[in-house]
Chains A and B, each alone.
Chain A
Amino acid sequence: MNTQYKLLNDPFLYLFIFFSIFPFIPILGKHISLGTEVLIWFLYALSFNLLLGYTGLPSFGHGAFYGVGSYVTALIYLRFVGNSRNIFLPLLASILVVGILSYFIGFVIRNKRGIYFALLTVAFSQVLYIIAFKWTEVTGGELGITRLFRGQFLGINLESSIRYYYFVLLIAFLGSIAIRKITLSPFGKVLQSLKQNETRVQYLGYDSAKYCCYVMTISGTFAGLCGGLYCMLYSSVFADNMHWIKSGDVVIATLLGGGMTNFYGPIVGSSIFILAREILSSVWDNWVLLYGFAFVLIILFMPTGLLGIFGKMKEKKHFEQFNNNKNR
């Protein structure tokens, strides 16, 4: 009974149902690669929110992990996969390489907070961007790497876009469930308390720097996987995905959706971002202007983002209950 109740109240269930029937919805269903991209961003933004919303670490270099994930996938695909066109190895490599890379970066900046943390993540991502952009022999430079045609994943044929869509759906949901598990675990609790009061965390005996390093690793690893999935979606990879401005996209999407106070905020925010990009850009070239304006308005009137409104309502109820208890 209890588990059934829990399941029926789980937003993931409804999201899963929606995305499962998405390809069959009239009109919308035709944009299958767009749907795939939304799913990738779904996981990407959630992984990013482990840093920003949960630990309070303002990373502006998440796009670098995404980008490196794409390049690793592409390069491993070109070197080792050959005619089988099996994307298992490239994706696995993207997880491992980006995992190690994010651990390294996390380790170096584990003691930095606030603006210093933000600037260092920008610096790291720009270094990686420039490597990707200039090292033409390996990364293709400005032209990127193209013609990466996916074939199968351990025998499962993924050539058609609809098959790939369902493959990404599965990974995005498994990944998101794992991230949600982490946020509810003791480790996740430590992250949330770090955001609120780091000194206190240390005086409760937690090595806060280590936690920052670990959460960078976890978050970066998921971003790397997303980069790999993205690369295989469009059969190509370009350096501009790694530019720090692109990292800003995920920050804005997360804030817009309300990731600071709500676990599902990044999902809402990233879906809005991608839809806005597709719809507005077909209307007007300078669509970013409209998007930026909407962002400013929303943050001005709802500082905690779109889903932040639920948190507000909950808090009000909570406070009233508290007062009632006191008056009794």
Chain B
Amino acid sequence: MMDLLRTENLTKKFGELIAVDNISISIAEEGILSIIGPNGAGKTTFFNLLTGFLLPTEGKIYLKGEDITNMQPYDIVHKKLSRSFQISSYFPEFTIFENIQMGVLNRFNYGYNYFTDSGQINDVNKETEKYIDMLDLSDMKNMKAKFLSHGDKKILDIAMCLTLEPEILLLDEPTSGVSGNERMKVIHFIGDLAKRMKIIIVEHDMDIVFSISNRIIVLSQGAILADGTVEEVRNDKNVQNAYLGGKVEGGNQDVNSGKSK
């Protein structure tokens, strides 16, 4: 079986600092893969490399066997790999409807249409409504995105990725800064998505990571410290010593409180 996503000796240096150090992994087609590690471990840099936001210093990235190492973000997105951002990324002055519509317009190839009113394209509107319903935001669809709550902004960010019908979705700290009930909303949403596509997630909250992941990769100082199932990682001596702070029982630890590099 071909790997969905594979990296070979992926390395990124910022001057003297090695942010991502020689990472070679292959990622299977299903389930949720979590990437954890202390602040500065290279998680986000790794994401940025995978999605073409940064170019690697060395190494290769293959998506379904195709070399995507030097591709631009907008080309990679068309290869069905999509991402959300640590700080929710959306269009604040647009309504929710318009935010979602932007992705649909691209998937339907309307980007270079100069003279059709963008609100009057029926197939796009219908598809956009579909996502709005899925988000459970129908009664707020004409609200500007900047007025949304923090959790809803996170969901909007993820929903915008979905409009391109990705096969792999990379989520960068989808619950950071989201509190209480809203956090559960985001997690349920991600759980539902995992039934339809591969999800790779960077997350600080260990409760969440241990409850939803099929596989966990632990990064430390840019390199892989551990890689395995939830149980394997939880019981890994290196991981415990490095920053989980000894034996983890309920997984009630936040990586933020661990040692940084």
A residues contacting B by CB (< 8 A) are 181-182, 184-190, 192-193, 196-197, 199-208, 211, 214, 315, 318-319, 322, 325
Contacts and interface: CB of A to CB of B under 8 A. Distances in A.
B74 A205 contact: yes
Contacts of A206: 74, 106, 111
A232 B85 CA distance: 53
A322 B113 CA distance: 32
B118 A184 contact: yes
Contacts of A204: 74, 77, 102-103, 106, 160, 163-164
Interface of B: 51, 53, 72-74, 77-78, 82-83, 85, 89-94, 98, 101-103, 105-107, 110-119, 121, 139-140, 143-144, 147, 160-161, 163-164
Given A202-B73, A203-B51, A205-B74, A185 B114 contact: yes
Nearest to A181: B115
Contacts, number: 106
A187 B91 contact: no
B77 A203 contact: yes
Contact of A205 (B78, B91, B94, B143): B78
Contact of A186 (B53, B113, B139, B147): B113
Contacts of A211: 111
Contacts of A205: 74, 77-78, 103, 106-107, 164
A47 B93 CA distance: 22
A310 to B, nearest CB: 15
Contact of A203 (B73, B105, B111): B73
Contacts of A186: 105, 110-113, 116, 118, 121
Nearest to B93: A196
B160 A196 contact: no
Contacts of A207: 72, 74
A184 B107 CA distance: 19
A189 B115 contact: no
A298 B212 CA distance: 55
A187 B112 contact: yes
B90 A197 contact: yes
Contacts of A196: 91-94
B85 to A, nearest CB: 8
A200 B77 contact: no
A147 B118 CA distance: 46
A202 B78 CA distance: 11
B123 to A, nearest CB: 12
A200 B89 contact: yes
Contacts of A190: 102, 105, 111
A202 B74 contact: yes
Most A-side CB within 10 Å, residue of B51, B74, B121, B143: B74
